[in-house]
């Protein structure tokens, strides 16, 4: 059934690509400069006094790309070239990474961030998620604990050893007897918990994004929360980087705000030291690290 949905989605995206391309050709043939409207999204919380109820499903404005602006010409060129690659991927039912796409026209693209921006623009234009374009990412995240999942015909048993987070076009089948999910900021903490057999003593699932979480890690966490219905906690450092990582899991990132509803986990709860703990518990100053201008501690 999922394969049927995927095929239908691909046909729908190909139809949208054709309509978008024809509209540009029609404008050019009639001597008009095409206008490409890129909607803008943002993430924010509507209720600061209770559990987050963030909203980013509706655009907060738009940006207009036109050939009449010299600064837009290169961006439109990149967008159309990446769109052609996406069309070929969908037609041939193949997949490519963002890095693969960059190397197809590395001289034109000049930098990976240019491709990343074009892919985000295409997702907004076609109203879809990045993986729907058959553009995939290799996840940096790790998972261990009371979880077994099946992906692409393979079985991954996380109770015996950690596994890399895996999220393809199709959601993996999950089996779990865990009681909660613990997200940790750093790989070093993850490894310490593994060495201490934490998951053997506690019926839980532990995930790390190895710092700032990538899209596959966030999608995988969201899938676990949706499918298993477990409480989820996040252990981060009490510094600006830790707060930013927690906010990325909870609210989503600004760069992919258009897709935040599929990536954020609003119910995630903060574990660890709070800024107020130093005063509440009279912690000696030698236990604290100075905050630099760059935000490091």
- What does the block give as tokens for 77? 């060129």
| Contact assessment for residue 143 and residue 110, using Cβ atoms and an 8 Å cutoff | no
At 42, the pLDDT band (50, 70, 90 cuts) reads low
Helix (H) or strand (E) holding 86: helix 70-92
pLDDT tens per residue, range 198-223: 998 999 999 999 989 998 899 999 99
pLDDT tens per residue, range 242-260: 999 999 999 988 778 778 8
Residue identified by tokens 């729907």 is 132
pLDDT tens per residue, range 145-195: 999 988 777 888 998 889 888 776 667 788 899 999 999 999 999 999 999
Calpha distance 224→216 (Å, rounded): 12
Domains of the chain: 3-132 (1.10.10.10), 142-276 (3.40.1360.10)
* pLDDT value for 168: 63
Phi, psi (degrees; rounded to nearest 5) at 105: -145, 55
Calpha distance 241→237 (Å, rounded): 8
Residue identified by tokens 């019926």 is 203
At 53, the pLDDT band (50, 70, 90 cuts) reads very low
- What does the block give as tokens for 2? 């999922």
The per-residue b/e assignment along 5-43, b for 16 or more CB within 10 angstroms, e otherwise, is eeeeebeebeeebeebeeebeeeeeeeeebebebeebbb
Q: Which of 44, 102, 103, 241 is catalytic?
A: 103
Residues 6+ apart with CB under 8 A from 106: none
At 225, the pLDDT band (50, 70, 90 cuts) reads very high
* pLDDT value for 22: 95
Residue identified by tokens 């236990």 is 287
Cα dihedral 256→56→167→8 (10° resolution): -110
Residues 6+ apart with CB under 8 A from 63: 37, 38, 40
Model confidence at 125: pLDDT above 90: yes
Q: Is 103 a catalytic residue?
A: yes
Q: Where are the beta strands (DSSP E) in the chain?
A: 35-40, 61-66, 96-97, 135-136, 142-145, 147-151, 154-157, 163-164, 173-176, 180-184, 204-208, 232-235, 269-271
pLDDT tens per residue, range 56-110: 455 567 889 998 898 899 999 999 999 999 999 999 999 998 899 999 998 889 8
Query: pTM for this one?
Result: 0.74
């Amino acid at each position: 059934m999922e394969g049927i949905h995927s095929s239908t989605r691909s046909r729908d995206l190909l139809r949208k690509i054709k309509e978008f391309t024809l509209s540009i050709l029609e404008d050019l043939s009639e001597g008009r400069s095409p206008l490409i409207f890129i909607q803008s999204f943002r993430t924010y919380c509507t209720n600061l006094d209770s559990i987050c109820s963030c909203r980013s499903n509706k655009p907060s404005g738009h940006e207009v790309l036109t050939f009449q602006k010299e600064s837009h010409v290169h961006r439109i060129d990149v967008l159309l070239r990446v769109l052609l690659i996406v069309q070929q991927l969908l037609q041939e039912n193949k997949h490519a990474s963002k890095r693969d796409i960059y190397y197809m026209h590395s001289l034109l693209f000049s930098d990976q961030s240019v491709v990343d921006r074009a892919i985000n623009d295409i997702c907004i234009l076609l109203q879809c998620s990045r993986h729907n374009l058959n553009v995939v990412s290799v996840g940096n995240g790790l998972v261990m604990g009371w979880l077994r999942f099946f992906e692409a015909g393979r079985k991954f048993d996380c109770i015996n050893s950690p596994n890399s987070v895996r999220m393809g076009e199709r959601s993996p089948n999950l089996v779990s007897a865990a009681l909660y999910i613990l997200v940790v900021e750093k790989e070093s903490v993850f490894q310490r918990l593994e060495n201490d057999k934490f998951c053997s003593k506690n019926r839980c699932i532990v995930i790390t994004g190895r710092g700032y979480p990538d899209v596959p890690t966030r999608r995988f966490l969201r899938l676990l929360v949706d499918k298993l219905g477990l409480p989820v906690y996040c252990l981060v450092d009490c510094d600006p980087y830790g707060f930013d990582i927690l906010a990325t899991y909870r609210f989503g990132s600004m760069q992919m705000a258009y897709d935040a509803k599929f990536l954020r986990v609003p119910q995630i709860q903060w574990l660890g030291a709070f800024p107020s703990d130093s005063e509440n518990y009279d912690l000696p100053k030698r236990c604290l690290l100075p905050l630099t201008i760059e935000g490091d501690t």
